[in-house]
Structures are given as structure tokens and as C-alpha cells.
Amino acid sequence: MYLIDNQPTIDFSSYVDLDNLLKLKPYLDYAVVKSSSIVTPTRYYHHQFLDQKYQGINDVYNIPVDFEFYQELKDTDQLASWLRYNQDLIHGQQSVQIRCALNWNTKHINSEVFDTKNIQYWQCFFDWIDGQNIFNEYGRVVVFLNEPGVETPIHRDSPDPTRRDEFIWVSLGNRKKMFVYDAEKNIKYYVDTPIGLFDATNYHGAEAGELASWSLRVDGIFSKEFLDKTGLYNHFRL
């Protein structure tokens, strides 16, 4: 597996204003609830899964079907929800898009994303993140929802070991059982922090929990100040 600073997961808690982030949790829970009027299954390709027995939604998403409602579902971003009922698919948790990427490969660039109408509920979070100087710029912002008993399938974002996505992963409340998975050693390394990072080219997922949980990912370009402070400048810039 691929490490960051010789570690499977990185804890950013001591480098940010964690106390005020934790105070925001009730407001972020509110934002999740209001944003969840537009919730969709997470779209994977089957080659991302550790277990490739089933397809991901992206494998069949753009295959036209001969029904009069097809275009209406696609226009309202409900096609993925419909496909899971009539195709043998794996999607695990559902997602809420706050800022949506035009292209997956450029999801970290501000000019390559667009705001969804959900962004209106997240101003307090953006005010907090802008005050931390974590990023020079940031792009995609997505929330992953895990209802009780729903796991996130073990998957990787890319098989390219040279890809080094710069992002923060936020999960408040100690409910989400997120882990990075070493497939060779069959070991799970739990992401045991309210705000952190891991190498998403590694397999990762989340165990099914007893209680509802959410996590949030912000993709961007880390600032030099933040990389220097965390000791990660050499990992991401050299």
C-alpha cells in the first residue's frame, strides 16, 4: 500500500481550529439534512472495487434505455437512483454534491467545478475552511451518507500510484467506521480523526455502523503554509 509520511492515514486535528469545527457540527448536520433533498447513489466503476463481482453505476450510466422517462431522469440527476433497482449494481453509501466536478481529473481546481443549489446551506463551513489557509484553491465538495447498516464498498479512486490527490476528509461525531485497506496484508487502518487525509489510490471503505453518519471530502491544492506546517511539502511538491 502507499503511505503518506510513512503512515496509512494522516491526522490534521492539531493543524486546524478543531474546537470551532466541532462546534459547527449541529449546523453541518442541518446542512446535510437540507442538502439531502438531492441525494444520489455514489457512482463507481467496477474496476475500482476490491470485489469486482458486480458493476458500478458508472459502468451503465450512459447506456441509453428505451423508456420515455429516460431523459427526464438524467436531466434531474435521478437516473442513478433508478438504475440500482433494475441493474445488478454496487453503490453502498449515497452522496450529496455541494460543488460538483466537470471532470474527475480536475476536481481539485476551482474553475473546473460548479456550485449546486446545496451550497446555500454550507456557508459556515466555507467560512471556517477559508480561515484555516489549508488550500490555495479548492474544487469539488461532496458529502457521503451512511445510514445504519450501510457500508461503503472497499474501492480505490485510481489504480495510478503516482496520483496524489490533495484533499481533506472530515467526519465529526465518531460514528463513521472509515478505513484504509492493505489488500496484501488484509489489514484495516481506521481513519480515526475528525479531519485528515489518506492516499485514495489505496483501497478504502467504511464498515456498516449502527447509527447514521456522514463524511465530507474537499479536493483542492494545498497551500505551501499548510504543507510546511504538516511536514508534507516533500510528499506533495517534490
Domains and CATH numbers, the chain: 9-40+92-237 (2.60.120.10), 43-91 (no CATH)
Cell digits for 79? 437516473
Asked whether 207 and 179 are in contact (CB, 8 A), the reply is yes
Q: What is the DSSP string of 95-131?
A: EEEEEEESSGGGTTSGGGEEE-GGGGG-HHHHHHHHT
Per-residue pLDDT 10s for the chain (238 aa) are: 999 999 999 999 999 999 999 999 999 999 999 999 889 999 999 999 999 888 999 999 988 888 999 999 988 889 999 999 999 998 889 999 999 999 999 999 999 999 999 999 999 999 999 999 999 999 999 999 999 999 999 999 998 888 999 999 999 998 999 999 999 999 999 999 999 999 999 999 999 999 999 999 999 999 999 999 999 999 999 7
pTM over 0.75: yes
Distances (CA, A) of 170 to 148, 167, 190, 217: 19, 10, 14, 6
